[in-house]
Chains A and B, each alone.
Chain A
């Protein structure tokens, strides 16, 4: 029974990783930027989630406002930080992004306090029995359901709508797409909006699980999400999803079975290094 329990934990964790990493991989696929500050958007999503829920009592409204707000901030970051750096070596954008991330983390600490914020009455804490003594809280079920539905909507958008087709065309070949009359700039803004909104949603979900929005909650997300998109093959959406689930599950089993020699993060990265040595191009090729 322990194995099933660990598997479910791993899947929940993997679903959260997937939502964070998806935005990163979209941005990498389009602009070849390792967007570390993405994790700051994730943290902000958590804060907005807690604040709006506490003020209005509605978790739905909180999720919605968090996604919109964080999405808009993502677009702003693109406009102010990345657009002027697009023709520079990728390392420049990476360091700029790290600087931005440090600044944001501090800003959250100064504005919201270093102890973090919690829900006045944490929603969805009730647990359901799945049979065989397995307990699962509603928040975990909601996380899996939301992750699956977001991803399906995204898959539908990208394959069945004009905007989605334009987006995929731009990822494959920006110049060719532009010559076919696609406004590449709009696609980039849209990309940042969707990617950041997903990170915002992930922030709300993590806060649902931990009941604490704190300035440093983005730290884990910042580097682990990078590891996931690299493992997935940088820019490959399907690869990212597989890698997110794999890392979530490896972590959850690893902490139990080899936790006495390596801590949680080290297990994830040990797995990453082994996987990359075997497949240097990541699990799936971008495309």
Chain B
């Protein structure tokens, strides 16, 4: 049972992480190649606080605030650079984060932080907490998608210049997308830190950023349920491939490539096509 709980917790945290990027990339169309940096910010904030004696629940809001504030600054950058330039800038932010943490002795430097206290309500409790957080965030995402803000995000994703002409306050909505998305990643990070109980600079590298972006794209940009599904499946996929352990990353890479090559709009697109053919 313990193994299933660990798997399910990994799933729930990854779903939350992917849904948070989906707000920025999926809803608002701003490509981020550095989302793991905010996951990392949340993880480090959470870990430092609980090591100082805070309970985990109390450490979640500060984690969201720290990640969200940095997200706000990066959002400001998105007002200045666009498209591919923005993708590379966010990638730079991720490297900057890792490079900085690596050299900070008080954050554990190269070695990272170990001995992070376990959640006081045990593993099953952490699972429940993770599921609640992921479900709340999914509900928030669905709510945003249907609200006026969702329409505004959509218009920015489709054609930023036209949105501006139509009188939509593009900078404000972009900043909101970044703040909401990065705060979500911060919470996911804090949960993650108490799930694995060891974090280091290499836990939040470029690969992690790309992996979460791949989840959003493979799910189908902007679709909440499909992104959640893709994140849940892809987060445990390498474990299912254990029987071919030497080849699991090879298969993973080919799978990511294959989905893009044959169904560029992801799982959501494939399902939609399938349903249309039936009817």
Contact = CB atoms under 8 A, between A and B. Distances in A.
Contact of B84 (A85, A230, A270, A272): A230
Interface residues of A, number: 48
Contact of A102 (B89, B213, B256): B256
Interface of A: 34, 81, 84-85, 88-96, 98-107, 110, 219, 223, 226-227, 230, 234, 260-270, 272-273, 276-277, 280-282
A81 B221 CA distance: 20
Interface of A (DSSP majority class): helix
A215 to B, nearest CB: 10
Given A91-B31, A91-B217, A100-B253, A269 B264 contact: no
A276 B217 contact: no
Interface string B235-262: 0000000000011011011111111110
A103 B253 contact: yes
B260 A223 contact: no
B91 A227 contact: yes
Interface of B: 31, 77, 80-85, 87-89, 91-93, 95-96, 98-100, 102-103, 206, 210, 213-214, 217-218, 221, 246-247, 249-250, 252-261, 264
Max chain A CB contacts within 10 Å: which of B91, B99, B103? B99
Given A110-B246, A266-B99, A282 B85 contact: yes
Contacts of A281: 85
Contacts of A106: 247, 249-250, 253
B96 A269 contact: yes
Nearest to B256: A99
Contact of B213 (A95, A96, A263): A95
Contacts of A104: 253
A84 to B, nearest CB: 7
Q: Which 3 A-B pairs have the closest CB atoms?
A: A266-B99, A99-B256, A103-B253
A58 to B, nearest CB: 32
Contacts of A280: 80-82, 85
A230 B80 CA distance: 14
A219 B213 CA distance: 18
A102 B217 contact: no
B28 to A, nearest CB: 13
A156 B250 CA distance: 40
Nearest to B258: A99
Given A269-B95, A272-B92, 13 more contacts: A94-B87, A96-B261, A100-B253, A102-B252, A230-B85, A234-B84, A261-B103, A265-B99, A276-B77, A276-B89, A277-B81, A280-B81, A281-B85
A110 B217 contact: no
B250 A107 contact: yes
Contacts of A226: 88, 91
A103 B254 CA distance: 6
5 contacts: A99-B257, A227-B92, A230-B84, A260-B103, A266-B100
B91 A267 contact: no
Contact of B99 (A92, A96, A263): A263
Contacts of B252: 102-103
Contacts of A100: 253, 257
A99 B214 contact: yes
Given A98-B256, A103-B253, A110-B247, A90 B84 contact: yes
A104 B217 CA distance: 20
Contacts of B255: 99
A182 to B, nearest CB: 26
B87 A102 contact: no
